[in-house]
Amino acid sequence: MSDNPPRRPRILVVTPEITYLPEGMGNLAQRMCAKAGGLADVSASLVKALYDQGADVHVALPNYRRMFHQDVASVFDNEFEKVSSALPEQRIHLAQDRVFYHRSSVYGAENHLIALAFQREVINHTLPQVRPDLIHCNDWMTGLIPAVAKQYGIKSLFTVHNIHSEHLTLAQIEDRGIDAAAFWQHCYYRRAPWNYEESRANNPVDLLTTGILSADHVNTVSPTFLDEIVQGYHHFIPDAIRNQLRDKHRDGRATGILNAPDPGFDPASDPYLKNHFTAADHSEGKRKNKLELQERLGLMGDPDVPLFFWPSRLDPVQKGCQLLGDILHSLVTQNKLQIAIIASGAYKNHFHDIVNRHRFHGQVAVRDFDEGLSHLGYAASDFIFMPSSFEPCGLPQMIAPKYGSLTLAHDTGGLHDTVDPFDAEADKGNGFLFKHFNGDGLRWAVNEALKFYHGGEEHRTHHRARIMKEAVARFNHEATAAAYIKRYEQMLDTAVMT
Protein backbone atom coordinates (compact mmCIF):
# COMPACT_ATOMS: atom_id res chain seq x y z
CA MET A 1 0.00 0.00 0.00
CA SER A 2 1.31 3.45 -0.93
CA ASP A 3 1.97 5.96 1.83
CA ASN A 4 1.30 8.82 -0.60
CA PRO A 5 -2.14 10.39 -0.15
CA PRO A 6 -4.31 10.68 -3.26
CA ARG A 7 -3.75 13.83 -5.29
CA ARG A 8 -6.33 16.50 -4.67
CA PRO A 9 -8.27 17.59 -7.78
CA ARG A 10 -6.97 20.88 -9.14
CA ILE A 11 -9.51 23.67 -9.73
CA LEU A 12 -8.90 26.57 -12.13
CA VAL A 13 -11.24 29.56 -11.77
CA VAL A 14 -11.25 31.65 -14.97
CA THR A 15 -12.80 35.13 -14.83
CA PRO A 16 -12.26 38.17 -17.06
CA GLU A 17 -13.96 40.61 -14.71
CA ILE A 18 -12.68 42.71 -11.88
CA THR A 19 -15.94 44.37 -10.96
CA TYR A 20 -17.73 45.71 -14.00
CA LEU A 21 -20.02 44.76 -16.89
CA PRO A 22 -21.73 46.80 -19.63
CA GLU A 23 -24.61 49.10 -18.71
CA GLY A 24 -27.83 47.21 -18.28
CA MET A 25 -26.15 43.83 -17.89
CA GLY A 26 -26.17 42.93 -14.20
CA ASN A 27 -26.02 43.79 -10.53
CA LEU A 28 -25.13 47.31 -9.37
CA ALA A 29 -24.30 48.33 -12.94
CA GLN A 30 -23.99 51.98 -12.01
CA ARG A 31 -20.55 51.34 -10.48
CA MET A 32 -19.39 52.65 -13.86
CA CYS A 33 -21.02 49.53 -15.25
CA ALA A 34 -22.18 46.47 -13.30
CA LYS A 35 -20.68 44.74 -10.37
CA ALA A 36 -20.72 41.19 -11.65
CA GLY A 37 -20.60 37.99 -9.72
CA GLY A 38 -17.12 37.40 -11.03
CA LEU A 39 -13.81 38.23 -9.37
CA ALA A 40 -15.14 40.86 -6.98
CA ASP A 41 -18.14 39.06 -5.52
CA VAL A 42 -17.84 35.35 -6.19
CA SER A 43 -14.45 34.35 -7.58
CA ALA A 44 -12.39 36.17 -4.95
CA SER A 45 -14.36 34.64 -2.11
CA LEU A 46 -14.49 31.27 -3.82
CA VAL A 47 -10.76 30.90 -4.37
CA LYS A 48 -10.09 32.13 -0.83
CA ALA A 49 -12.55 29.63 0.66
CA LEU A 50 -11.12 26.82 -1.45
CA TYR A 51 -7.53 27.69 -0.59
CA ASP A 52 -8.22 28.21 3.13
CA GLN A 53 -9.86 24.80 3.31
CA GLY A 54 -7.00 23.03 1.60
CA ALA A 55 -8.13 22.80 -2.02
CA ASP A 56 -5.68 22.94 -4.92
CA VAL A 57 -7.07 26.09 -6.52
CA HIS A 58 -5.72 28.49 -9.16
CA VAL A 59 -7.21 31.62 -10.73
CA ALA A 60 -6.68 33.08 -14.22
CA LEU A 61 -7.46 36.67 -15.15
CA PRO A 62 -6.19 39.30 -17.60
CA ASN A 63 -3.20 41.39 -16.56
CA TYR A 64 -4.85 44.80 -16.45
CA ARG A 65 -1.53 46.45 -15.64
CA ARG A 66 -2.81 49.99 -15.45
CA MET A 67 -5.67 49.08 -13.16
CA PHE A 68 -3.55 46.83 -10.97
CA HIS A 69 -0.49 49.04 -10.62
CA GLN A 70 -1.72 52.61 -10.93
CA ASP A 71 -4.18 54.52 -8.86
CA VAL A 72 -6.61 55.17 -11.72
CA ALA A 73 -9.47 53.37 -10.00
CA SER A 74 -8.88 52.25 -6.46
CA VAL A 75 -11.75 49.79 -6.56
CA PHE A 76 -9.83 47.65 -9.04
CA ASP A 77 -6.80 47.62 -6.77
CA ASN A 78 -9.00 46.59 -3.88
CA GLU A 79 -10.61 43.74 -5.78
CA PHE A 80 -7.28 42.44 -7.08
CA GLU A 81 -5.95 42.56 -3.52
CA LYS A 82 -8.73 40.20 -2.43
CA VAL A 83 -7.35 37.51 -4.69
CA SER A 84 -3.64 38.23 -4.38
CA SER A 85 -3.85 38.24 -0.58
CA ALA A 86 -5.82 35.00 -0.58
CA LEU A 87 -3.51 33.01 -2.84
CA PRO A 88 0.23 32.48 -3.16
CA GLU A 89 1.64 34.23 -6.22
CA GLN A 90 2.20 31.02 -8.18
CA ARG A 91 -1.53 30.29 -8.09
CA ILE A 92 -2.46 33.57 -9.80
CA HIS A 93 -2.11 33.36 -13.58
CA LEU A 94 -2.20 36.74 -15.31
CA ALA A 95 -2.88 36.50 -19.03
CA GLN A 96 -0.52 38.75 -20.98
CA ASP A 97 -1.50 40.86 -24.00
CA ARG A 98 -1.03 44.52 -24.83
CA VAL A 99 -4.81 44.87 -25.30
CA PHE A 100 -5.12 44.55 -21.49
CA TYR A 101 -2.17 46.62 -20.32
CA HIS A 102 -3.30 50.24 -20.62
CA ARG A 103 -7.04 49.95 -20.13
CA SER A 104 -8.71 51.94 -17.37
CA SER A 105 -11.88 49.81 -17.44
CA VAL A 106 -12.51 46.14 -18.13
CA TYR A 107 -15.02 46.65 -20.93
CA GLY A 108 -15.05 49.11 -23.77
CA ALA A 109 -14.86 49.32 -27.56
CA GLU A 110 -12.67 46.23 -27.95
CA ASN A 111 -14.57 43.69 -25.87
CA HIS A 112 -14.19 40.91 -28.45
CA LEU A 113 -10.43 41.49 -28.71
CA ILE A 114 -10.08 41.33 -24.92
CA ALA A 115 -12.16 38.15 -24.80
CA LEU A 116 -10.16 36.41 -27.52
CA ALA A 117 -6.77 37.48 -26.15
CA PHE A 118 -7.72 36.32 -22.67
CA GLN A 119 -9.02 32.96 -23.84
CA ARG A 120 -5.98 32.46 -26.10
CA GLU A 121 -3.63 32.89 -23.15
CA VAL A 122 -5.68 30.58 -20.93
CA ILE A 123 -5.96 27.91 -23.64
CA ASN A 124 -2.37 28.07 -24.90
CA HIS A 125 -0.49 28.76 -21.67
CA THR A 126 -2.49 28.47 -18.43
CA LEU A 127 -4.16 25.12 -19.13
CA PRO A 128 -0.90 23.29 -20.05
CA GLN A 129 0.82 24.85 -17.03
CA VAL A 130 -1.91 24.21 -14.43
CA ARG A 131 -3.33 20.97 -15.88
CA PRO A 132 -6.64 21.35 -13.98
CA ASP A 133 -9.15 18.63 -13.25
CA LEU A 134 -12.00 21.14 -13.36
CA ILE A 135 -12.30 24.60 -14.89
CA HIS A 136 -14.82 27.12 -13.56
CA CYS A 137 -15.62 29.70 -16.26
CA ASN A 138 -17.68 32.90 -16.05
CA ASP A 139 -19.84 34.50 -18.76
CA TRP A 140 -19.38 34.97 -22.50
CA MET A 141 -15.79 36.16 -22.37
CA THR A 142 -14.75 32.63 -21.32
CA GLY A 143 -17.29 30.80 -23.51
CA LEU A 144 -14.76 28.97 -25.70
CA ILE A 145 -12.91 27.40 -22.78
CA PRO A 146 -15.55 24.75 -21.93
CA ALA A 147 -15.37 23.66 -25.60
CA VAL A 148 -11.60 23.25 -25.28
CA ALA A 149 -12.04 21.47 -21.95
CA LYS A 150 -14.49 19.04 -23.58
CA GLN A 151 -11.95 18.31 -26.32
CA TYR A 152 -9.33 17.38 -23.72
CA GLY A 153 -11.63 15.55 -21.30
CA ILE A 154 -11.45 18.21 -18.54
CA LYS A 155 -14.59 18.85 -16.48
CA SER A 156 -16.00 22.38 -16.69
CA LEU A 157 -18.56 24.47 -14.81
CA PHE A 158 -19.93 27.53 -16.60
CA THR A 159 -21.55 30.32 -14.56
CA VAL A 160 -24.06 32.54 -16.37
CA HIS A 161 -24.08 35.87 -14.54
CA ASN A 162 -25.84 37.84 -17.27
CA ILE A 163 -27.72 37.11 -20.48
CA HIS A 164 -25.34 38.76 -22.91
CA SER A 165 -23.28 37.21 -25.68
CA GLU A 166 -21.07 38.05 -28.65
CA HIS A 167 -20.85 36.31 -32.02
CA LEU A 168 -17.50 35.73 -33.77
CA THR A 169 -16.54 33.52 -36.71
CA LEU A 170 -13.98 30.73 -36.48
CA ALA A 171 -11.81 32.82 -38.78
CA GLN A 172 -11.88 35.74 -36.33
CA ILE A 173 -11.13 33.40 -33.44
CA GLU A 174 -8.21 31.80 -35.24
CA ASP A 175 -6.89 35.18 -36.33
CA ARG A 176 -6.27 35.92 -32.64
CA GLY A 177 -4.15 32.81 -32.13
CA ILE A 178 -6.71 30.22 -30.99
CA ASP A 179 -6.71 26.90 -32.84
CA ALA A 180 -10.48 26.60 -33.24
CA ALA A 181 -10.15 23.70 -35.67
CA ALA A 182 -9.30 21.51 -32.68
CA PHE A 183 -12.63 22.08 -30.94
CA TRP A 184 -14.97 23.60 -33.55
CA GLN A 185 -17.48 20.74 -33.22
CA HIS A 186 -18.14 21.67 -29.57
CA CYS A 187 -19.17 25.25 -30.44
CA TYR A 188 -22.68 26.65 -30.93
CA TYR A 189 -23.26 28.39 -34.26
CA ARG A 190 -25.86 30.78 -35.59
CA ARG A 191 -27.00 27.96 -37.89
CA ALA A 192 -26.19 24.27 -37.93
CA PRO A 193 -22.74 23.83 -39.51
CA TRP A 194 -22.15 21.47 -42.44
CA ASN A 195 -18.45 21.16 -41.75
CA TYR A 196 -15.51 23.18 -40.49
CA GLU A 197 -14.55 24.67 -43.86
CA GLU A 198 -17.95 25.98 -44.89
CA SER A 199 -18.65 27.50 -41.47
CA ARG A 200 -15.22 29.00 -40.83
CA ALA A 201 -15.77 32.41 -42.41
CA ASN A 202 -19.52 33.02 -42.40
CA ASN A 203 -21.25 31.08 -39.59
CA PRO A 204 -20.61 32.98 -36.33
CA VAL A 205 -20.05 31.21 -33.03
CA ASP A 206 -22.30 32.31 -30.13
CA LEU A 207 -19.83 32.57 -27.25
CA LEU A 208 -22.23 32.44 -24.29
CA THR A 209 -24.27 29.62 -25.77
CA THR A 210 -21.07 27.72 -26.58
CA GLY A 211 -20.11 27.84 -22.91
CA ILE A 212 -23.55 26.54 -21.92
CA LEU A 213 -23.52 23.80 -24.58
CA SER A 214 -20.02 22.50 -23.86
CA ALA A 215 -19.88 22.73 -20.06
CA ASP A 216 -20.51 19.66 -17.96
CA HIS A 217 -22.65 21.76 -15.64
CA VAL A 218 -24.12 25.28 -15.85
CA ASN A 219 -25.34 27.55 -13.11
CA THR A 220 -27.19 30.84 -13.07
CA VAL A 221 -26.83 33.17 -10.09
CA SER A 222 -30.30 32.51 -8.70
CA PRO A 223 -32.47 29.37 -8.81
CA THR A 224 -35.70 31.17 -9.73
CA PHE A 225 -34.16 33.05 -12.66
CA LEU A 226 -33.08 29.71 -14.11
CA ASP A 227 -36.61 28.36 -13.67
CA GLU A 228 -38.06 31.45 -15.34
CA ILE A 229 -35.79 30.99 -18.37
CA VAL A 230 -36.61 27.29 -18.67
CA GLN A 231 -40.35 27.99 -18.34
CA GLY A 232 -40.31 30.59 -21.13
CA TYR A 233 -40.43 33.85 -19.17
CA HIS A 234 -38.64 37.01 -20.32
CA HIS A 235 -38.91 37.72 -24.04
CA PHE A 236 -35.38 39.12 -24.19
CA ILE A 237 -33.76 35.71 -23.61
CA PRO A 238 -32.45 34.50 -27.01
CA ASP A 239 -33.88 31.16 -28.14
CA ALA A 240 -30.39 29.62 -28.37
CA ILE A 241 -29.60 30.39 -24.73
CA ARG A 242 -33.05 29.34 -23.51
CA ASN A 243 -33.00 26.05 -25.43
CA GLN A 244 -29.51 25.10 -24.27
CA LEU A 245 -30.35 25.89 -20.64
CA ARG A 246 -33.56 23.85 -21.01
CA ASP A 247 -31.54 20.90 -22.28
CA LYS A 248 -29.06 21.17 -19.41
CA HIS A 249 -31.86 21.57 -16.87
CA ARG A 250 -33.73 18.55 -18.23
CA ASP A 251 -30.56 16.48 -17.90
CA GLY A 252 -30.01 17.61 -14.30
CA ARG A 253 -26.93 19.63 -15.28
CA ALA A 254 -28.15 23.17 -14.54
CA THR A 255 -28.71 24.76 -11.14
CA GLY A 256 -28.96 28.16 -9.50
CA ILE A 257 -26.39 29.35 -6.94
CA LEU A 258 -27.00 32.73 -5.34
CA ASN A 259 -24.32 35.40 -5.25
CA ALA A 260 -23.58 37.18 -1.98
CA PRO A 261 -22.73 40.80 -1.15
CA ASP A 262 -19.24 41.97 -0.33
CA PRO A 263 -18.43 41.47 3.38
CA GLY A 264 -17.56 45.18 3.56
CA PHE A 265 -21.30 45.80 3.78
CA ASP A 266 -21.44 45.56 7.57
CA PRO A 267 -22.95 48.37 9.67
CA ALA A 268 -20.69 47.46 12.59
CA SER A 269 -17.51 48.25 10.65
CA ASP A 270 -18.51 49.95 7.37
CA PRO A 271 -15.73 52.48 6.65
CA TYR A 272 -18.21 54.84 5.00
CA LEU A 273 -20.22 55.26 8.21
CA LYS A 274 -19.53 57.61 11.11
CA ASN A 275 -22.18 55.95 13.26
CA HIS A 276 -21.74 52.19 13.41
CA PHE A 277 -24.33 49.84 14.85
CA THR A 278 -25.22 46.18 15.32
CA ALA A 279 -28.47 44.26 15.64
CA ALA A 280 -28.33 44.90 19.39
CA ASP A 281 -28.12 48.71 19.18
CA HIS A 282 -29.42 49.46 15.68
CA SER A 283 -32.23 51.85 16.65
CA GLU A 284 -29.96 54.68 17.78
CA GLY A 285 -27.45 54.00 15.03
CA LYS A 286 -30.04 54.19 12.30
CA ARG A 287 -31.50 57.40 13.74
CA LYS A 288 -28.08 59.09 13.65
CA ASN A 289 -27.39 57.88 10.13
CA LYS A 290 -30.81 59.04 8.98
CA LEU A 291 -30.18 62.55 10.29
CA GLU A 292 -26.78 62.62 8.58
CA LEU A 293 -28.21 61.48 5.25
CA GLN A 294 -31.06 63.99 5.48
CA GLU A 295 -28.57 66.79 6.06
CA ARG A 296 -26.29 65.69 3.22
CA LEU A 297 -29.19 65.35 0.75
CA GLY A 298 -31.09 68.48 1.78
CA LEU A 299 -34.07 66.58 3.13
CA MET A 300 -35.98 67.82 6.17
CA GLY A 301 -34.24 66.59 9.31
CA ASP A 302 -36.57 64.18 11.07
CA PRO A 303 -35.36 60.85 12.49
CA ASP A 304 -38.95 59.65 12.91
CA VAL A 305 -40.08 59.92 9.29
CA PRO A 306 -40.05 56.65 7.27
CA LEU A 307 -37.21 56.84 4.74
CA PHE A 308 -37.21 54.87 1.48
CA PHE A 309 -33.95 54.39 -0.45
CA TRP A 310 -33.44 53.61 -4.16
CA PRO A 311 -30.01 51.88 -4.45
CA SER A 312 -29.79 50.42 -7.98
CA ARG A 313 -29.26 51.99 -11.38
CA LEU A 314 -32.12 53.94 -12.94
CA ASP A 315 -32.73 51.61 -15.87
CA PRO A 316 -36.42 51.46 -16.88
CA VAL A 317 -35.84 48.34 -18.99
CA GLN A 318 -34.95 46.20 -15.97
CA LYS A 319 -35.07 48.03 -12.66
CA GLY A 320 -38.67 49.29 -12.65
CA CYS A 321 -37.91 52.92 -11.78
CA GLN A 322 -40.85 54.01 -13.95
CA LEU A 323 -43.18 52.33 -11.44
CA LEU A 324 -41.95 54.71 -8.75
CA GLY A 325 -42.15 57.60 -11.22
CA ASP A 326 -45.81 56.79 -11.90
CA ILE A 327 -46.81 56.97 -8.23
CA LEU A 328 -44.22 59.38 -6.80
CA HIS A 329 -46.56 62.40 -6.66
CA SER A 330 -49.35 60.56 -4.86
CA LEU A 331 -46.93 58.83 -2.45
CA VAL A 332 -45.41 62.11 -1.34
CA THR A 333 -48.64 64.12 -1.17
CA GLN A 334 -50.69 61.42 0.59
CA ASN A 335 -48.12 60.12 3.08
CA LYS A 336 -45.54 61.46 5.48
CA LEU A 337 -42.38 59.87 4.10
CA GLN A 338 -39.07 60.63 2.43
CA ILE A 339 -37.38 59.09 -0.59
CA ALA A 340 -33.63 59.12 -1.26
CA ILE A 341 -32.62 58.17 -4.81
CA ILE A 342 -28.84 57.71 -4.96
CA ALA A 343 -28.37 56.25 -8.41
CA SER A 344 -27.34 57.00 -11.98
CA GLY A 345 -29.11 56.03 -15.18
CA ALA A 346 -31.48 57.03 -17.93
CA TYR A 347 -34.48 57.72 -15.67
CA LYS A 348 -32.70 60.20 -13.38
CA ASN A 349 -33.82 63.31 -15.25
CA HIS A 350 -37.44 62.20 -15.05
CA PHE A 351 -37.21 62.05 -11.26
CA HIS A 352 -35.52 65.46 -11.24
CA ASP A 353 -38.43 66.88 -13.29
CA ILE A 354 -41.04 65.53 -10.87
CA VAL A 355 -39.18 66.89 -7.82
CA ASN A 356 -38.62 70.30 -9.39
CA ARG A 357 -42.17 70.62 -10.79
CA HIS A 358 -43.83 69.83 -7.46
CA ARG A 359 -41.16 71.30 -5.19
CA PHE A 360 -40.58 68.05 -3.36
CA HIS A 361 -36.98 68.94 -2.45
CA GLY A 362 -37.47 68.50 1.30
CA GLN A 363 -39.07 65.09 0.82
CA VAL A 364 -37.37 63.57 -2.24
CA ALA A 365 -33.66 63.75 -3.07
CA VAL A 366 -32.11 62.61 -6.36
CA ARG A 367 -28.32 62.22 -6.50
CA ASP A 368 -25.88 60.47 -8.80
CA PHE A 369 -24.53 57.19 -7.53
CA ASP A 370 -21.78 57.64 -4.95
CA GLU A 371 -20.25 54.73 -3.06
CA GLY A 372 -20.17 56.47 0.31
CA LEU A 373 -23.66 57.94 0.02
CA SER A 374 -24.98 54.55 -1.04
CA HIS A 375 -23.60 52.87 2.07
CA LEU A 376 -25.09 55.65 4.17
CA GLY A 377 -28.39 55.13 2.35
CA TYR A 378 -28.55 51.52 3.52
CA ALA A 379 -27.67 52.52 7.09
CA ALA A 380 -30.15 55.40 7.22
CA SER A 381 -33.12 53.94 5.41
CA ASP A 382 -36.06 52.00 6.71
CA PHE A 383 -36.85 50.46 3.32
CA ILE A 384 -35.29 50.02 -0.12
CA PHE A 385 -36.93 49.80 -3.55
CA MET A 386 -36.17 46.82 -5.83
CA PRO A 387 -39.15 46.67 -8.24
CA SER A 388 -37.20 44.99 -11.07
CA SER A 389 -39.09 43.54 -14.02
CA PHE A 390 -36.51 40.72 -14.04
CA GLU A 391 -33.49 40.03 -11.83
CA PRO A 392 -30.77 37.42 -12.53
CA CYS A 393 -29.67 37.76 -8.91
CA GLY A 394 -29.60 41.22 -7.35
CA LEU A 395 -27.41 42.35 -4.46
CA PRO A 396 -29.10 45.38 -2.83
CA GLN A 397 -31.90 43.22 -1.39
CA MET A 398 -29.24 41.10 0.34
CA ILE A 399 -27.30 44.14 1.58
CA ALA A 400 -30.28 46.07 2.93
CA PRO A 401 -31.38 43.59 5.65
CA LYS A 402 -27.85 43.57 7.06
CA TYR A 403 -28.43 47.28 7.80
CA GLY A 404 -31.95 46.77 9.15
CA SER A 405 -33.66 48.02 5.99
CA LEU A 406 -36.58 46.03 4.54
CA THR A 407 -36.96 45.49 0.78
CA LEU A 408 -39.93 46.33 -1.43
CA ALA A 409 -39.56 44.08 -4.48
CA HIS A 410 -41.31 42.67 -7.51
CA ASP A 411 -41.62 38.90 -7.12
CA THR A 412 -39.14 37.73 -9.76
CA GLY A 413 -35.81 35.95 -10.19
CA GLY A 414 -33.25 36.46 -7.46
CA LEU A 415 -35.67 38.74 -5.59
CA HIS A 416 -38.04 35.80 -5.12
CA ASP A 417 -35.15 33.76 -3.73
CA THR A 418 -33.97 36.36 -1.23
CA VAL A 419 -36.95 38.51 -0.16
CA ASP A 420 -39.38 36.69 2.11
CA PRO A 421 -42.82 38.25 2.76
CA PHE A 422 -42.99 39.92 6.15
CA ASP A 423 -45.29 38.19 8.62
CA ALA A 424 -45.37 39.75 12.08
CA GLU A 425 -47.40 36.98 13.71
CA ALA A 426 -45.09 34.26 12.45
CA ASP A 427 -42.07 36.41 13.28
CA LYS A 428 -40.51 35.95 9.84
CA GLY A 429 -39.84 37.72 6.57
CA ASN A 430 -37.55 40.55 5.48
CA GLY A 431 -39.59 42.53 2.98
CA PHE A 432 -42.69 43.02 0.86
CA LEU A 433 -43.16 41.25 -2.48
CA PHE A 434 -45.71 42.36 -5.07
CA LYS A 435 -46.85 40.12 -7.93
CA HIS A 436 -48.04 42.53 -10.60
CA PHE A 437 -45.40 44.67 -12.29
CA ASN A 438 -47.15 48.03 -12.24
CA GLY A 439 -47.51 51.16 -10.13
CA ASP A 440 -50.38 49.74 -8.12
CA GLY A 441 -48.27 46.73 -7.17
CA LEU A 442 -45.50 48.98 -5.87
CA ARG A 443 -48.06 51.21 -4.11
CA TRP A 444 -49.40 48.16 -2.26
CA ALA A 445 -45.86 47.32 -1.10
CA VAL A 446 -45.32 50.90 0.12
CA ASN A 447 -48.58 50.76 2.08
CA GLU A 448 -47.52 47.47 3.68
CA ALA A 449 -44.15 48.99 4.57
CA LEU A 450 -45.84 51.98 6.19
CA LYS A 451 -48.06 49.64 8.24
CA PHE A 452 -44.91 47.95 9.48
CA TYR A 453 -43.26 51.28 10.29
CA HIS A 454 -46.25 52.64 12.18
CA GLY A 455 -46.52 49.48 14.28
CA GLY A 456 -44.42 51.24 16.89
CA GLU A 457 -40.79 51.48 17.95
CA GLU A 458 -40.77 48.24 19.92
CA HIS A 459 -42.29 46.36 16.97
CA ARG A 460 -39.74 47.79 14.53
CA THR A 461 -36.80 47.14 16.86
CA HIS A 462 -37.67 43.50 17.41
CA HIS A 463 -38.15 42.63 13.75
CA ARG A 464 -35.18 44.64 12.49
CA ALA A 465 -32.85 42.91 14.93
CA ARG A 466 -34.14 39.53 13.77
CA ILE A 467 -33.81 40.50 10.09
CA MET A 468 -30.25 41.74 10.57
CA LYS A 469 -29.14 38.55 12.33
CA GLU A 470 -30.79 36.34 9.72
CA ALA A 471 -29.20 38.27 6.85
CA VAL A 472 -25.69 37.83 8.25
CA ALA A 473 -26.22 34.08 8.55
CA ARG A 474 -27.86 33.71 5.15
CA PHE A 475 -26.22 36.14 2.70
CA ASN A 476 -22.48 35.59 2.88
CA HIS A 477 -19.63 34.40 0.70
CA GLU A 478 -19.06 31.32 2.82
CA ALA A 479 -22.53 30.04 1.92
CA THR A 480 -21.97 30.81 -1.77
CA ALA A 481 -18.54 29.17 -1.79
CA ALA A 482 -19.95 26.09 -0.04
CA ALA A 483 -22.55 25.71 -2.78
CA TYR A 484 -19.89 25.86 -5.50
CA ILE A 485 -17.62 23.44 -3.61
CA LYS A 486 -20.51 20.97 -3.33
CA ARG A 487 -21.08 21.29 -7.09
CA TYR A 488 -17.38 20.68 -7.83
CA GLU A 489 -17.41 17.55 -5.70
CA GLN A 490 -20.51 16.22 -7.40
CA MET A 491 -18.97 16.82 -10.82
CA LEU A 492 -15.64 15.21 -9.88
CA ASP A 493 -17.15 12.50 -7.68
CA THR A 494 -14.50 13.17 -5.06
CA ALA A 495 -13.68 15.60 -2.26
CA VAL A 496 -11.76 18.72 -3.26
CA MET A 497 -10.51 19.49 0.26
CA THR A 498 -7.72 17.86 2.22
- Per-residue pLDDT of 360-374, as tens digits, reads 999 999 999 999 999
| Residue 1 pLDDT > 80 | no
Q: Is the pTM of this model over 0.85?
A: yes
Q: From edge to edge, which strands make up the β-sheet containing 217-220?
A: 92-95, 56-62, 10-14, 134-138, 155-160, 217-220, 254-256
Q: What distance in Å separates the CA atoms of residue 91 and residue 93, rounded to the nearest whole number?
A: 6
Amino acid at 309: F
pLDDT of amino acid 104 = 53
pLDDT of amino acid 3 = 55
387 or 53, greater pLDDT = 387
Instruction: Let me know: does 413 contact 345? Beta carbons within 8 Å.
Output: no
pLDDT of amino acid 306 = 98
Return the beta strands (E) in 330-488 as ranges.
338-342, 364-367, 383-386, 406-410, 431-434
| Residue 108 pLDDT > 60 | no
pLDDT of amino acid 79 = 59
pLDDT of amino acid 477 = 83
| Residue 21 pLDDT > 50 | no
Phi and psi, residue 56, nearest 5°: -90, 90
Q: CA 299 from chain center: how many Å?
A: 31
| Residue 185 pLDDT > 80 | yes
pLDDT of amino acid 42 = 63
| Average pLDDT value over all residues in the chain | 88
pLDDT of amino acid 109 = 55
**Average of per-residue pLDDT across 305-332:** 96
pLDDT of amino acid 362 = 96
